[in-house]
């Protein structure tokens, strides 16, 4: 089959690879100069499958109230954010109720755990390297009550396949001595030994090369401008340079698919949750973490990519502006220095910002549409790198006409 993949982030490239591996003739279009140049560029690097709790959960309303008075809250929105945001936010809050949150947790773990397994398969098949750390992910808590609530959720998550362990403060430090700066202040941690981290951009670039070896054609520097429908299918895809036809079209444009689908009568409920990172050279390896850490109180992740250390996180709901905000990135570097003193060279911080494509239930939109040859693989929000390999495989199965290995029909656009 001739398949057109729109978008060359980690989700689009993984889709293209899985489709090419299944024997399809794939063309991928992206407006940037190469793969993974937008949200997939400098993210937290975590494959946090065992810890993949949706952002929409019953703790959020309480946390939002707690953050209201803070100077630098992990979540922030503008009062004049616009009706798009408020509509999205109301649906998001609806998903924080206990019942939808429990259903969403099951769905998140189902696809994330499957994805981690598929990612290992891709590594074995291709041999690609991307600063992989297979030392698990440690999620640390300073507040006792927050840790107690996390331990309760751990039981439910383990019943769904997570394999998490709860560690007290001392056991946390024994496992990760680089956390010495918070000795005596930690309530505990959840450890997910099978989770991983790595450089998502390096992965995306190298997997694109593998897809190219399998025959995928990459069209960079081309902006998709319209999808032209006819007789219930997408007849043509128009870019600023060319026109394309295909047996199947996959939309993986991160935050930017909405305007292309609206003329077709489809509404993508995706809103950008801007996040930030800083990447610094490691100065003292012994002071740097030897596994990826999530600091639950600060809503930050720290990942080590060989001789680089990155801090990433926070969420700002201010529309589609992806400008780097130097003050926020400087605060990230300060948080890194506070947690891992002397670990990284603070004078060489490289700042970055990206837009997470977030749906109200904070899960991806994956599957067919009312247009017979149009498929969606988008809206992965906080877990795009974690869920990319599983989503890509499911998408390839659906297009090939094979039954996916896991249940996937509850990830469609029709759930909204």
Ligand X SMILES: Cc1cc2nc3c(=O)[nH]c(=O)nc-3n(C[C@H](O)[C@H](O)[C@H](O)COP(=O)(O)OP(=O)(O)OC[C@H]3O[C@@H](n4cnc5c(N)ncnc54)[C@H](O)[C@@H]3O)c2cc1C
Q: Using CB under 6 A as the criterion, which residues of the chain lie in contact with ligand X when the complex forms?
A: 7-12, 29-32, 37-40, 43-46, 223-224, 252-254, 256, 275-277, 301, 312-313, 354, 356-357, 378, 380-386
Q: How far apart (Å, rounded) are the C-alpha atoms in residues 399 and 127?
A: 26
Q: Which one, 223 or 245, has the nearer CB to ligand X? A: 223
Please state the closest distance from residue 315 (CB atom) to ligand X, in A.
8
Q: Which one, 303 or 373, has the nearer CB to ligand X? A: 303
Please state the closest distance from residue 184 (CB atom) to ligand X, in A.
28
Please state the closest distance from residue 103 (CB atom) to ligand X, in A.
21
Please state the closest distance from residue 36 (CB atom) to ligand X, in A.
6
Burial track 258-278 (b if 16+ CB lie within 10 A, e otherwise)? bebbeebebebbbbbbbbbbb
Please state the closest distance from residue 20 (CB atom) to ligand X, in A.
17
Q: Which one, 173 or 227, has the nearer CB to ligand X? A: 227
Length of the chain: 416
- CA-closest candidate to residue 207, choices 112, 131, 122: 122
Please state the closest distance from residue 223 (CB atom) to ligand X, in A.
4
Q: Which one, 313 or 368, has the nearer CB to ligand X? A: 313
**Which tokens is 285 given?**
């390896």
For 7, which DSSP code?
Answer: -
Q: How far apart (Å, rounded) are the C-alpha atoms in residues 50 and 157?
A: 8
**Which tokens is 110 given?**
């189902």
Q: Which one, 188 or 198, has the nearer CB to ligand X? A: 198
Q: Which one, 43 or 133, has the nearer CB to ligand X? A: 43
C-alpha neighbours within 13 Å on the C-beta side of residue 50: 23
**Which tokens is 359 given?**
């749906």
Q: How far apart (Å, rounded) are the C-alpha atoms in residues 155 and 166?
A: 10
Q: How far apart (Å, rounded) are the C-alpha atoms in residues 391 and 111?
A: 7
- CA-closest candidate to residue 119, choices 397, 377, 384: 384
8 A C-beta contact, residue 54 and residue 363: yes
Please state the closest distance from residue 170 (CB atom) to ligand X, in A.
27
Long-range (24+ apart) CB contacts under 8 A made by 226-233 are 226/260, 226/263, 227/260, 227/261, 227/263, 227/264, 227/374, 229/264, 229/371, 232/370, 232/371, 232/372, 233/371, 233/372, 233/373, 233/374
Q: Which one, 224 or 293, has the nearer CB to ligand X? A: 224
Please state the closest distance from residue 236 (CB atom) to ligand X, in A.
15
Q: Which one, 344 or 389, has the nearer CB to ligand X? A: 389
């Amino acid at each position: 089959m001739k398949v057109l993949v729109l978008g060359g982030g980690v989700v689009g490239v993984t889709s293209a690879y899985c489709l090419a591996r299944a024997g399809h003739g794939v063309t991928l279009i992206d407006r940037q100069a190469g793969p993974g140049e937008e949200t997939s560029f400098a993210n937290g690097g975590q494959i946090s499958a065992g810890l993949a709790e949706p952002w929409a959960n019953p703790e959020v309303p309480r946390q939002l109230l707690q953050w209201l008075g803070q100077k630098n809250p992990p979540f922030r929105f503008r009062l004049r954010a616009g009706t798009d945001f408020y509509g999205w936010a109301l649906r998001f809050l609806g998903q924080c109720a206990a019942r939808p949150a429990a259903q969403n947790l099951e769905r998140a773990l189902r696809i994330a755990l499957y994805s981690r397994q598929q990612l290992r398969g891709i590594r074995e098949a291709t041999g690609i390297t991307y600063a992989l750390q297979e030392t698990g992910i440690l999620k640390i808590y300073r507040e006792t009550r927050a840790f107690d609530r996390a331990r309760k959720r751990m039981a439910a998550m383990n019943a769904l396949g997570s394999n998490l362990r709860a560690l007290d403060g001392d056991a946390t430090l024994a496992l990760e001595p680089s956390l010495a700066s918070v000795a005596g202040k930690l309530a505990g941690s959840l450890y997910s030994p099978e989770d991983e981290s790595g450089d998502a951009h390096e992965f995306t670039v190298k997997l694109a090369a593998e897809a190219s070896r399998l025959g995928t054609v990459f069209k960079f520097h081309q902006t998709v401008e319209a999808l032209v429908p006819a007789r219930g299918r997408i007849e043509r895809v128009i870019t600023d340079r060319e026109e394309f036809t295909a047996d199947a079209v996959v939309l993986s444009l991160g935050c930017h698919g909405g305007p292309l689908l609206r003329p077709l009568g489809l509404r993508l409920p995706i809103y950008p949750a801007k996040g930030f990172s800083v990447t610094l050279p490691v100065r003292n390896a012994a002071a740097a973490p030897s596994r990826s850490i999530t600091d639950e109180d600060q809503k930050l992740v720290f990942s080590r990519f060989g001789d680089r250390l990155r801090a990433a996180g926070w969420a700002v709901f201010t529309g589609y502006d992806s400008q780097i905000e130097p003050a926020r990135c400087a605060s990230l570097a300060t948080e890194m220095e506070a947690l891992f003193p002397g670990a990284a060279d603070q004078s060489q911080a490289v700042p970055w910002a990206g837009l997470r494509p977030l749906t109200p239930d904070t899960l991806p939109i994956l599957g067919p549409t009312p247009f017979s040859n149009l498929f969606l693989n988008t809206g992965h929000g906080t877990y795009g790198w974690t869920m990319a390999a599983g989503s890509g495989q499911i998408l390839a199965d659906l297009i090939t006409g094979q039954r996916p290995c896991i249940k996937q029909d509850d990830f469609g656009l029709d759930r909204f």
